[in-house]
Structure 1
Amino acid sequence: MGLLVATTGMAQKSIKIVGGTAPAGTERRAAIIIANQDYQQDMMDLKKVYNDADDMKEALDKLGFEIFELRRDLDRRSLDRLLAGLPQRLKGYQVALFYYSGHGAEYQGDNYLLPTDMPPLEYRSDVATYGLSLKRVYQAFADGGIRTSIVISDACRNLPLGRSTGLPTGLTLPANNPAGTFTMFATRSGNLSLENVKGRNGYFTQELLKNIVQPNWTLDKIFYETRKGVKAATGNQQDPSMANELDDQFVFVLKPEDRPLSTPVLNPTTSQVAESTPSRPTTTTNWSSKYLDLPFADLEYVPGGTFQMGDTRGEGDSNERPVHTVTVSSFLMGKYEVTQRQWEAVMGSNPSEHKECPDCPVENVSWEDVKVFLQKLNARASGSLHYRLPTEAEWEYAAGGGAIAKRSRFGNGEDILNPAGANFYGITADKKAYSVAGEYRGKTVRVGSFSPNGLGLHDLSGNVWEWCADWYGPYTQEAQTDPSGPSSGWTRVLRGGSWYFNSAYCRVAHRNPDIPSLRNNYVGFRLVAQSR
């Protein structure tokens, strides 16, 4: 097993693990595990809960967590006393994980863990009367000084109900989860967590156990892979949900690589791409970095490779051809589009039309405006990284998933674009063979609202068009390495489509030239980084 690391803690003594000692700065980790399987009302009994809890304990032990509690079949008084004593016990820890398997439900927007001594449920309000609010867990972590709180609930089983009908199932994601928390629920509000008749664990915990041990996977990545596995195992009948209110990334296992990466370096005076071979940044998690100390400022590592650039599916415009072979070097790319909050931190103003959402992408910015932003950002940046726009080749390479055999049609890793998974003009009249009609939002949405592609990058199709560094020019058939476009021109390149454009414009291969002074409420950008 590799070293264990998280990004938000203060320096503490090393944690002894198999294969080495985690360096100073690794957080102290605490875990609380509750398994409610044997209820006083026999009709509420469950089958796999003890297994879920035992296997989570074994996994978390190996991941450097101190197991404060592994408790089975807690009644209301026992649950209450456990949570009341947690804040004092958590002093000196930076990371705490709460795992619950058993019955749970929501009532009037609040979530409740159901103790084993619950009487028969007759009315919807019984959930709040006899259950324990999940807010108690968040509050206990906050009172204990925890900086990174992870709450996982494999609950929402089928509940018998007496006189009333329509007992709420599926825990709901509150509108305002506490800052510094990451929450995973086994299913969405209004749905059930299904029993896995043949397996040892419930479907959600079964998939989660596979993913938390993966080296260099962030909590976002772990959730998305768990969700994908649960949906596949249940035929899309169970769909987990998540709320991320962390300002920084957290990984359970960090496994560093030995060899250096090759990073494309943009010479600011010539705008040509040169080659260097710096080491990976040593202060980052999952080989990511932050370009500002603000939410959604993460950069993800994109390993270099070779791909076929252009309209490989024969469905695009003439400027997407001829298809040609391109090799790109490794680089760091913004996990999200640059937000209004980030723009304002650098520029001191917000040009966006949709100002009601500071974590939505900044828009109404021209290519020339972005150039000024980059100058100011690089002037204030400390460390070894220099920030710039992606080249058109880097953008298409990352949007399609990198150097993989089957590259996706859209930047979210999918071949069919659905308004449930991207922000675009998905009305019925503009439906394509490769899209699904659905909600048209009519404006930008908060970055990261939808699942990322396989490289961990969000919103590469839809939300806002994204400026690239290149002057626009026609493709040629020649194979190229790290192309940076023509040396001059009249128009720059925009990629990815937006909330105002249909799915045809959101394809990975689609190219859109426009004048560098263009400003519109559907045009923004994202960053890449290189070694200085």
Structure 2
Amino acid sequence: MNNRTKQLFASSCALGLCAAMAAHAADPVIDNISLVPRLTITSDLATANTVQYSTDLNQASWVVLTNLTVTQTPFWFVDASASPSPLRLYRVVASPLPNGMTLIPAGPFIMGDSLDHDPTARPTHTVTVSAFYMDTKLVTYALWQQVYQWATNHGYAFDNPGLGKADNHPVHTVNWYDVVKWCNARSESEGITPCYFTSAAQTNIYRTGRINLGNAFVNWNANGYRLPTEAEWEKAARGGVSGHRFPWSDTDNINQSRANYFSDTGKYSYDQSATGGYEHDFDDSVEPYTSPVGYFAPNGYGLYDAAGNLHKWCWDSYSTYSSAAQVDPRSPSTGSDRVARGGSWYYNEADGCRVAARFHGSADGRGDGLGFRCVRSSTQ
């Protein structure tokens, strides 16, 4: 009896205290309720979808919210950026993907990293790129030969004929001038507008010789093939995630089940291959030890060989990074070497396969560790 009285008394005191506190505290106020639009979209698979909105149909002004490749249908899109408006209308524009390419969506990412104290990858900085299409696979020897034959019959001249271990392996032993001209030839052979010209006047298509092209020599709005900028390459290689060492997000380690590279497990702690040396499936004692394109799993954007197999030529001249935020950065005005990215079957080991790893060399350099893939600008 006494115990129960004490318990009730204690409870009464607590209630009295809460009531007193409530009497002196300000009543909570709900300042705003935000209803975030969520769109359910049904679209054909493997198409590019551009989600847009407008607040005034009279002006027919549509703002792009995102570009994406449809990998499942239906799918949801949440417009987290929606602000209060009496009218907000949406539309989705669909277009087929160019053959063998995927859409890399527009948006910002953090370029470079500080994971491995690599001075060439610092300072990290925010880069925003426009949407673009990228080859899902490296240019194969078969495709190179097909376009090369067309090109040499239509006024093109190359320094190197290109080599490949097999038709479905990547082409190699091509220099930067070769691949830029080849991109133009690929465009012309398909009846689309080439990107590279012999001068800033953009009157003559680049087909022969070695010309140190500058940004003004490029029609960046053309729908033809070109090399990716270094920023485009890194955004694509990261596969839609940030802060990771390699083109995948489930681990920051690498092994030879993920990429074709020379392994040295004693040199890098993140190299987790079971055995060292060349990738054993492709070490047949006949160099180069390249692998068929598409052999290893793709990254989040559906790109194969974002790490390993061959280094990939980029458009840019090499220079050090700035910490300033950038939008669609292109080749700097200084620097004579051209950039290559991605690591290869024999050079720089696991370190070279990092998405932030940068390499550069003379534009006339060639070797069996250098290849490329193409991009196309998106008009979305």
TM norm. shorter chain > 0.5: yes
Look up the SS of the partner of 2:145 in the other structure: helix
Partner residue of 2:171 out of 362, 369, 375: 362
Offset of residue 428 of structure 1:
4.0
Partner residue of 1:449 out of 269, 289, 295: 295
Distance in structure 1 (CA, Å) of the matches to 2:187 and 2:164: 26
1:309 maps to which residue?
A: 111
Cα distance, 1:416–1:5 mapped onto 2, change above 3 Å? closer
Q: Give the unaligned 5+ runs of structure 2.
A: 1-40, 48-68, 80-91, 153-159, 194-222, 284-288
Contact 2:341–2:359 (Cα < 8 Å) also in 1: yes
Offset of residue 486 of structure 1:
0.7
Partner residue of 1:411 out of 247, 250, 267: 247
2:146 maps to which residue?
A: 345
Look up the SS of the partner of 2:344 in the other structure: coil
Cα distance, 1:346–1:319 mapped onto 2, change above 3 Å? same
After superposition, residues 221-232 of structure 1 pair within 5 angstroms as none
Cα distance, 1:424–1:6 mapped onto 2, change above 3 Å? closer
1:336 maps to which residue?
A: 137
* 1:442-469: CA deviation from partner (whole Å, max 9, x where unpaired): 4110011011111111111100000110
Distance in structure 1 (CA, Å) of the matches to 2:378 and 2:113: 32
Offset of residue 407 of structure 1:
3.7
After superposition, residues 495-506 of structure 1 pair within 5 angstroms as 495-501=341-347, 502-506=349-353
> Considering only CA atoms, is the larger Rg found in Structure 1 or Structure 2?
2
Partner residue of 1:511 out of 331, 334, 358: 358
Q: Which has the higher contact order (CA 8 A, sep 6+)?
A: 2
Look up the SS of the partner of 2:224 in the other structure: strand
Instruction: Tell whether 2:2 aligns with 1:2.
Output: no
Look up the SS of the partner of 1:371 in the other structure: helix
RMSD: 2.8
Offset of residue 401 of structure 1:
2.0
Distance in structure 2 (CA, Å) of the matches to 1:299 and 1:4: 16
Instruction: Tell whether 2:374 aligns with 1:520.
Output: no
Offset of residue 330 of structure 1:
1.2
Contact 2:121–2:356 (Cα < 8 Å) also in 1: yes
After superposition, residues 235-254 of structure 1 pair within 5 angstroms as 253=73
* 1:462-505: CA deviation from partner (whole Å, max 9, x where unpaired): 00000110011111111111100212421000000100020001
Offset of residue 216 of structure 1:
2.7
Contact 2:184–2:226 (Cα < 8 Å) also in 1: no
Look up the SS of the partner of 1:373 in the other structure: helix
1:471 maps to which residue?
A: 317
Contact 1:412–1:459 (Cα < 8 Å) also in 2: no
Offset of residue 398 of structure 1:
1.1
Task: With the length of structure 2 as denominator, give the TM-score of the two structures.
Answer: 0.61
Distance in structure 2 (CA, Å) of the matches to 1:321 and 1:473: 12
Cα distance, 1:515–1:323 mapped onto 2, change above 3 Å? same
Contact 2:132–2:378 (Cα < 8 Å) also in 1: no
Partner residue of 1:381 out of 157, 174, 190: 190
Q: How many residues get paired? A: 255
Look up the SS of the partner of 1:289 in the other structure: coil
Distance in structure 1 (CA, Å) of the matches to 2:375 and 2:46: 23
AA aligned to 2:252 is D
* 1:426-450: CA deviation from partner (whole Å, max 9, x where unpaired): 14454x1111123443411001101
Instruction: Tell whether 2:193 aligns with 1:391.
Output: no
Offset of residue 255 of structure 1:
7.2
Cα distance, 1:334–1:4 mapped onto 2, change above 3 Å? closer
1:490 maps to which residue?
A: 336
Offset of residue 354 of structure 1:
4.1
* 1:331-368: CA deviation from partner (whole Å, max 9, x where unpaired): 1111111111110110029945543x211111111111
Give the percent of matched residue pairs that are identical in Structure 1 and Structure 2: 38
2:262 maps to which residue?
A: 425
Distance in structure 2 (CA, Å) of the matches to 1:280 and 1:387: 23
Offset of residue 3 of structure 1:
4.8
Instruction: Tell whether 2:62 aligns with 1:216.
Output: no
Q: Give the unaligned 5+ runs of structure 1.
A: 8-214, 218-251, 260-278, 291-297
Contact 1:411–1:496 (Cα < 8 Å) also in 2: no
1:248 maps to which residue?
A: none
Offset of residue 317 of structure 1:
2.4
